[in-house]
Amino acid sequence: MASEQFRLPEECKVRDLAFQILALELIEQLKNDPSRIQREVQTIIRN
């Protein structure tokens, strides 16, 4: 139980940071190559 309490906040931080980075990258890619966004999202979802 204790390990879950310590692990969960870190996972949330990593997830939030990943979404922030993804959002910024998608905004930049949308300006340049809209079709690339779908490929990038699919790659991230697989990983």
Q: How many folded domains does the chain comprise?
A: 1
User: pLDDT tens digits for 12-43?
Assistant: 888 899 999 999 988 888 888 777 777 878 88
Structural domain range at position 11: 2-46
User: pLDDT tens digits for 5-16?
Assistant: 556 778 888 889
The reply to whether the predicted model has a pTM over 0.85 is: no
Question: Considering only CA atoms, which of 17, 23, 19, 18 is closest in space to residue 37?
Answer: 23
What stretches of 1-47 show up as alpha helix (H) in DSSP?
A: 2-32, 34-46
pLDDT of res. 7: 65
Residue with tokens 């490929």: 39
User: Is residue 2 predicted with pLDDT exceeding 60?
Assistant: no
